[in-house]
Each structure stands twice: as C-alpha cells, then as structure tokens.
Structure 1
Amino acid sequence: MKPKIIKKRTEKFIWHQGIDNRLHRRFRGHILMPNIVMGQQEDKAHAAQRLPEVLLMCNKSSCAKIAHNISSKNQRTIEERAAQLAIRVPKPNARLHSQENE
C-alpha cells in the first residue's frame, strides 16, 4: 500500500468577510453550502431544446443569438432549425466556410 502524499499548502488562507456569508458561517460549525446546480442540468437542457417553440407561442418577432463557443456543426443545425421556424439569426454564416471560398 502506497502512502498518501500530502502536499503543504503554500498560499495564505483568505477568511470570508461577509457577515451573512454561508462560507463564513460554515467554518463555525454550520452546515455546508449546497453545490450550485444540484441535479438541474437535465431540466435546463430539455428546456433549452423547447425554447424556439415557446418563442413561437408568443405574439412577438424573435431573434436568436448563437453563443461564441458553439461548434460550427451545431451552429449549422441551429441555423437550419431557425430557418424552419422563421426565427431571425444575426450573422448566420459566421465561422461557416462554404466550398466556393476554398
């Protein structure tokens, strides 16, 4: 059995300054803070997939903005879906290179 390597902490411990901060309280014996999402990622993913249909139910014109970290393959599918639903996408051909340009 290998011994567990314990490395020395070199940086200074910064104490939490807020008077009602849960992190400040947890060092005094209070219960731990829950992690941020706690099993809500699946719900958010399904809600995001239904979002264009929800926009169509509203009686307003809508515009979709594609985030910068979406891959070009996924960006193309989003653009096709938006075209089907008549949702305007600004700069739809960003980072999509056509065969004529090569």
Structure 2
Amino acid sequence: MSIREVHDSNYREAIPAEGLALLDFGAAWCPPCRALLPILEEIDRELGDKVAILKIDTDDAPEAASAYGVLSLPTVVVFRDGQPVDKFVGLRSKAAYLASLAR
C-alpha cells in the first residue's frame, strides 16, 4: 500500500472499518512533520497492506484537525477497526508507532 493524502471531504471514508490505519496530521511548513515522512514510508514498506497510512495537511483540512483535537504538529492518530486507539502528539520514534500498531 502507499501513503494516501486525504482531505476534509474524504478522510472519514479513507479510514478502514476493519484493520489498522494511521492518520498523520501535519503541514508542509512543519520541520518535524517533514522528518516524520521517512518514518511513515519505512512503516509502509514494512507493513504494506496490513496498515492504511493516511496523510492530511491541517492547513487544508481544518475540520478534520478539529474533529481529532489536533493542537500541535505532527499529530498521529492510530485506528483499529475504524476507532481511534492511540494519539501521538509530536514526532516519535518508528518503534513507538510500530508498538501501537502491534497492540
């Protein structure tokens, strides 16, 4: 699978009802957000179809950011079967995201 960009109009449908998803809230001007991208790409290569990785630019998607209480960037929300199960505020290690996905 590849990292998919989503927007206010389609982020809800993009989160799978079954399985795992990781929704990355960021912005082009945010250095930690840019540092997160290679981590997400590695996770995508390693887990492939086991997790949907979604990326949303908060400048273009204020509704989605508000819906998940995003106040700092990056914020990553992990979903299991369509429900949020973890929320990471700020840049974390690859291991932290993988541990959440493995629970």
Same fold (TM over 0.5): no
The normalised TM-score by structure 1 is 0.25
The normalised TM-score by structure 2 is 0.25
Q: Which structure has more strand as a fraction of its residues?
A: 2
Compare CA radii of gyration and give the structure with the larger one: 1
Structure number with the bigger relative contact order (C-alpha 8 A, sep ≥ 6) is 2
